[in-house]
Structure 1
Amino acid sequence: MSLWLTDWKTDGREAWSGRRIMAQVGGAYAGHLDVYVHPSGQAVEVAELEVSPDHQLRNLASVMMDALYAAYPTAWINHGRRDPEGTQWWDRYSEPAPERNVHNRPPAEWAYYFEAGVVAAQKAHNAYRNRYQGVDGRREAVYRYGEPMEAEARQHAHLFHAPEPQGPNPQTDELYGGIRLFLPPRLHRVVHDSSRDAAERAEIVLDHLGHGSLPHYSAWNATERGAFEDLAHEEVFDTVSQQPVTHLTFRVLPLTDQQMPPHEVKATWVRFIDSPGIEVELAGMSWRSPQRPWLTHTAVFDPPLDAAIAPEYPADASPQYRARYSEIGDLLPGQMPRRAENASPYVGREAEIRAWADRLRQGIAQRATDRPDPASGQPAPADHQVHQQQSQQQTPRIR
């Protein structure tokens, strides 16, 4: 069995980070524990604990919960509401640090992080479950203070402080997105051939994928590690495909030169909403095989390549995207990966250049009409005579 603490991408609790402890047995998914983590790291709220049917009744849930306490050794833990299965499990579970369980302590100690009224409702729900299912649920630890929960909640409600949402800013921060690629076998071998130039291989992949096909559906992370974790996470739940897969990440520069597209900001990532085809500067790519994650290939583009996050719906693609990319994200004929380097100085000036050409032709015709006939014997104008002057100084010899 192995445990993996990783990011958990969720739309809830914007200011709190989603984290997941995933259990694998023999390399296969066995269960997970999802939590929200306060920005300070001093408070954790359990969202879901699940063990796959094939691995139940083996203490796997307890192992994951113990790992949570170890991963956040000083944080308050809020276990929330429990369902019938969770109620039975909790009655058997030996909690490693009950003094950090907010259900066991007065609100004055933890109300800065959790709303006292919400916790009181969770405790009431769990008490009902305990009575209904005929278990103790460590009632003495939870209710040893004797004061009604409603009174406690009202008294300490003012202590709660909701953290401000913080996360990466697409206008000032680099972002990392990822995609799982199933390349044709020959192309897969070329892309993972370390003897070849990394930038050359990266451009081969980009040509295959399409410069306008950067993923619109994935989260864009503040770190490359976060992007690779998303792909590894997706890999665990993919039990169908047997093809060799490549985990590919993109590094894009801040979106400083365009109107900011709609997006949702989370603690460590952003997601663009209904992408119309967002132009970006692609500064680098990294890729690896999930079977050999320690071998990562990295290419840096300096200057960066022009690319685009694909439209979520092709019919809603922006005019700027359609002018540069096809429906499948390929560059249209005549479009180059770097517009700044390859843009012709004559593009968009056709009418001006045509007017210049007309004036030149008219001038040539006019001069031909005004030119004297050589057969008439008319002398050439004085200003056309060639004058030569003899230099009075001699060039010194080189001795």
Structure 2
Amino acid sequence: MAQETNGLPDEGLSLWLTDWKDSTSTLWPGRHLVASIGRSVAGQIDFFLHPDGQALKVGMLRVHPDFQRRGLASVMMDALYEAHPTAWINHGWRTPQGARWWNGYQEPAPQRNIHNRPPGEWADYFDAVDVAADKAQNAHINTSHGLDGHQDAVYRYGERLETEAALHTAAFRPATPVRMDPTAQPLYGAARLVLPPAIHDFVHDRTKDRHARAAALLEHIGHGNLPRDAHWNATRDAAFADAHHEELFNSQPSGPATHVVFTLPPVDADLLPQAHALATSIELRHRGGLAVAVTELSWRHADRPHTTHTAGFTPAVPAAIAPLSAQYASTAYQNRYDEKGFLRPAARGDTRPFADRAAQIQALAERLLRDQASRLRALRPQPAAQATIVPQQQTPQQRAPGPGRRA
């Protein structure tokens, strides 16, 4: 691309595909293609993928200002074509900035761009009238900015909308949405943590027993603190991708981050709360805390994703997805967890063996204290009685004056 001449760094560029969890406006699952350089997001393509994988629509392509005019947009678009090598691609309409970029982009497979092919080939996937409107918008932008826009490759550029509608609208078939079923498969949810140094060193020490490390990690998190805002995924890798996505797009932690994935068994249909299901993930919507069980814990250092620690729990460990806030916590949640989401002593099994004899034990304690006080009083030494002094009568000899004494 002639406009982007500064080039990209020789190393450190990463491209990865991940779910777009907030795609609620279409029946097609949303996806991201994210470009990162070092620990920074450099660019991203948002797109929707047909459930059968044979068509996609680009929603947005953006590059961070620090990485513009360096060929990154072209690298990302080329990667999108390569990731879906047989799919029809609908680029939609373009902004003026997007039209200027497209004018210099060399498309790797123009025969799969639906703007270059007759609607009869792709009308099962896309509404022909909508596509014609996008093409008209792009033609207007190109004319306004003096751009060619590869118009020679565009099939029947400027075809009348009513003609497109008459010929091809009936061919469009809306996709049947694919939705994850949480009652039929395990769920995987992620959390991103910055652990205290001692706990961080222990849970990542492969020389220590992994089950002890998993138990310590879950104890530190709190059994009632499973992430409320997480999308619960169909695979563990997808959950780790969520944690990595948060690592890139949110503020950097103050210390080394640990990505943790909780594995839950399928949810009982009778206990399933309101939920928003996507193709490969589900958001469980509840306010008061949701009782679940953890069958496995996996974790990895954010900077060393190739090293993953995993430990299973047999039997599964009772836990809970955190409530919306402490004030919304259900009675069952409050009975098991404190206001910070940690197990109460009774839930840990630290029950007192004589809890049902509290009144009897209290009375016994009071009697023992009274008896002890009585014994102490009996053993305390009594003060000696003071002697009574009786004055004696003096004889005449005793009253005689002595030397130096006057008579």
- Whether TM-score is above 0.5 comes out as yes
Question: C-alpha distance in 1, partners of 2:346/2:40?
Answer: 48
Which one-letter code corresponds to 2:156 in the other structure? R
Task: Give distance in 2, aligned partners of 1:127 and 1:195.
Answer: 64
CA distance in 2, matches of 1:189, 1:47: 43
Paired letter, 2:149 = G
Deviations 1:213-262, CA, capped at 9 Å, x for gaps: 10010111000000001111111224532401100000000111643201
CA RMSD of aligned residues (A): 2.2
Corresponding residue for 2:327?
A: 315
Match of 2:161 among 149, 157, 160: 149
Moved more, 304-313 or 152-161: 152-161
Distance 1:258 1:210, change over 3 A: farther
Aligned to 2:391: none
Are residue 184 (structure 1) and residue 196 (structure 2) matched? yes
Q: Does 1:273 pair with 2:285?
A: yes
TM-score (norm 2): 0.79
Q: Normalising by structure 1, what TM-score? A: 0.81
Question: Would the aligned equivalents of 1:219 and 1:269 in 2 still touch at CA under 8 Å?
Answer: yes
Aligned-pair CA distance for 1:14: 5.3
| Residues 1:57 and 1:12: Cα distance change in structure 2 (over 3 Å) | same
- Which residues of 2 match residues 154-303 of structure 1 at below 5 A? 154-256=166-268, 258-303=270-315
Q: Look up the SS of the partner of 2:229 in the other structure.
A: coil
Aligned to 2:91: 79
Residue number among 25, 34, 37 corresponding to 1:22 in the alignment: 34
Cα distance, 1:62 vs structure 2:
0.8
Q: CA deviation at 1:13?
A: 4.7
How far off its partner does 1:297 sit?
0.6
Amino acid at match of 1:48: M
**8 Å contact kept, 1:231–1:247:** yes
Larger Rg: 2
Is 1:43 paired with 2:70? no
The 1:343–1:259 alpha-carbon spacing in structure 2 relative to 1, beyond 3 Å, is farther
Q: Equivalent pairs: percent with the same residue?
A: 48
Q: Choose from 55, 58, 65 the match for 1:53.
A: 65
Task: Give SS of 1:293's match.
Answer: coil
Q: Which moved more, 1:126-135 or 1:177-186?
A: 126-135
**Tell me, which stretches of 5 or more residues in structure 1 are unaligned?**
351-399
User: What CA distance in whole angstroms lies between the structure 2 residues aligned with 1:289 and 1:215?
Assistant: 18
CA distance in 1, matches of 2:183, 2:14: 39
In the superposition, relative to structure 1, how do residues 199 and 167 fare at CA in structure 2: closer, same or farther (>3 Å)?
farther
Q: State how far apart, in whole Å, the 2-side matches of 1:146 and 1:124 are.
A: 6
Aligned residue in 1 for 2:345:
333
Match of 2:45 in 1: 33
Distance 1:136 1:109 in 2: 25
CA contact (8 A) 1:104 1:143 kept: yes
1:101 CA displacement: 0.7
CA offsets 1:20-53 (integer angstroms, 9 cap, x no match): 2222234432111111111111001101101111
Q: Give the C-alpha shift of residue 149 in structure 1.
A: 3.0
Q: Deviations over 1:123-167 (max 9, x none)?
A: 222122112222121223224377423321332122222222223
Partners of 1:261 and 1:275 within 8 A in 2: no
CA contact (8 A) 2:224 2:343 kept: yes
Greater shift, 14-23 or 56-65, is seen at: 14-23
2:23 matched to which residue of 1?
A: 11
**What do the CA deviations read for 1:319-359 (whole angstroms, capped 9, x no partner)?**
2222221222111220138xxxx999x99xx8xxxxxxxxx
Where does residue 365 of structure 1 map in the other structure? none
Q: 1:106 aligns with which of 106, 110, 118?
A: 118
Alpha carbons of 1:105 and 1:212: their partners in 2 closer, same or farther (altered >3 Å)?
same
Contact 1:172–1:256 under 8 Å retained in 2: no
- Hey, what's the Cα distance between the residues in 1 that align with 2:157 and 2:253? 55
